[in-house]
Chain A
Amino acid sequence: MLEASGVRAMLDQLDAELIGLAPVKGRIRDIAALLLIDKLRAEQGLQSTPPSLHMCFTGNPGTGKTTVALRMAEVLKQLGYVRKGHLVAVTRDDLVGQFIGHTAPKTKEVVKKAMGGVLFIDEAYYLYKPENERDYGQESIEILLQVMENHRDDLVVILAGYRDRMDTFFGSNPGMASRIAHHIDFPDYSEAELMQIAQLMLGRLNYRFDDTAESAFARYVGLRRAQPHFANARSIRNALDRIRLRHATRLFAANTALTREQLCTLQAEDILASRVFATAPATVA
């Protein structure tokens, strides 16, 4: 029955396309199993109440929170938990108004749009600004709380943000914390996982590393990880974008006809030109 529902195929695809993230995948598998079993229980006439699926994703920048949220909408659609399976991604300025009486309609508008799907609130802690007691964010939070309680079967709310700031947010909004059943922490990627992610990204863009480039990039990842402002997969994507720029410039400078092979292959020199290597000795010393 797992096969028949298409859930297995979907979980496999998730495994293939998302590198690492073991706790996240584990939780998705649990939820999928529960929803499926609930369906079977309902068929047998047993009591089955749809579980509350509001979630909170915490983790460092670039650990895949938004990507997973997008997939989550599809997953929940497949499992028949949400009816439409679209994702509405919002931040504070989509929810909070600019003057008295502006916030409630604005938040309700967003909620209406998200019904039948998933409402994804990125950097949710900005909704609550304790330093300003007249901030309209609180009003927005109250409406969200009400919707999360009364329209549980109409939409799923996913909050996302950095770990420590989400903790303070929940600390000052206990109602929010108690209405969210699933707190999922996104771990940082290991170097091996980052390499896999890079390969996956390049594969999608029809590029590849040659042998020397691969080891150079592995070295790059090691150095970059130690530097400040490292944003996991996002940094990798940016690095690849810059490498592609250098690759393009190199080919542009060469005055020969280019083969398909050349157009696809990134070489070590494209990578080694990065400033990460230039500053590396300095940070060591």
Chain B
Amino acid sequence: MRITQGTFSFLPDLTDTQITRQLEYCLGKGWALGIETTDDPHPRNTYWEMFGNPMFDVRDAAAIMLELQAARKTYPNHYIRVVAFDATHGTESVVLSFIVQRPASEPGFRLIRTEEPGRTLRYTIESYAVQRAPEGARY
């Protein structure tokens, strides 16, 4: 099951040229870009691991693509996303994030039904990938 998280995730995967254009847009807005990775695709897993430092002083998308290539080399089968941080006073938070790499196969989620007193049912989801292997060995 294809994870839809962040901007553009309902679109086909972005090509490198398209990613570069998006990065140019972010840099044009003055946002600082960072790269994050994870192998736990649960939608509530908001805080991914940062790859390298956030790139505050970088002026050109080529530099971020360079870092992205390094991230892809290190984690060929993880989820990788680019986050754009707006440091403007009053905003000071991530304003855009989009997935730039996903594992070759995404097994999806199991729906867990928990019986509660009465005839209540509680639902949670659990990733098959997370269930079958520990962190770092999932994909």
- Residue positions of A touching B, CB distance < 8 A: 83-84, 86, 109, 111-113, 115-117, 151, 154
Contacts and interface: CB of A to CB of B under 8 A. Distances in A.
B71 to A, nearest CB: 13
Interface residues of B, number: 12
Contacts of A112: 55, 58, 63-64, 66-67
A117 B59 contact: yes
Contacts of B58: 112-113, 115
Nearest to A151: B62
Contact of B59 (A109, A111, A113): A113
B31 to A, nearest CB: 15
B92 interface: no
Contacts, number: 35
B59 A154 contact: no
A117 B59 CA distance: 8
18 contacts: A84-B60, A112-B58, A112-B63, A112-B64, A113-B57, A113-B59, A115-B59, A115-B62, A115-B63, A115-B66, A116-B60, A116-B61, A116-B62, A116-B63, A117-B59, A117-B60, A154-B62, A154-B63
Contacts of B55: 112
B69 to A, nearest CB: 11
Contacts of B67: 112
From A84, A112, A151, A154, name the one whose CB has the most chain B CB atoms within 10 angstroms: A112
Contacts of B63: 111-113, 115-116, 154
A117 B55 CA distance: 16
Contacts of A154: 60, 62-63
Interface in B57-113: 57-64, 66-67
Nearest to B60: A116
Nearest to B52: A105
B17 to A, nearest CB: 14
Contacts of B53: 109
Contacts of B62: 83, 115-116, 151, 154
Nearest to A147: B66
From B55, B61, B63, B66, name the one whose CB has the most chain A CB atoms within 10 angstroms: B63
In the complex, the 7 A-B pairs of residues with the closest C-beta atoms, listed nearest first: A116-B60, A112-B63, A115-B63, A115-B60, A154-B62, A115-B62, A84-B59
A126 B137 CA distance: 45
B20 to A, nearest CB: 11
A109 to B, nearest CB: 8
Contacts of A111: 63
B86 to A, nearest CB: 20
A116 B23 CA distance: 13
A195 B55 CA distance: 45
Contacts of A116: 59-63
Contacts of B60: 83-84, 115-117, 154
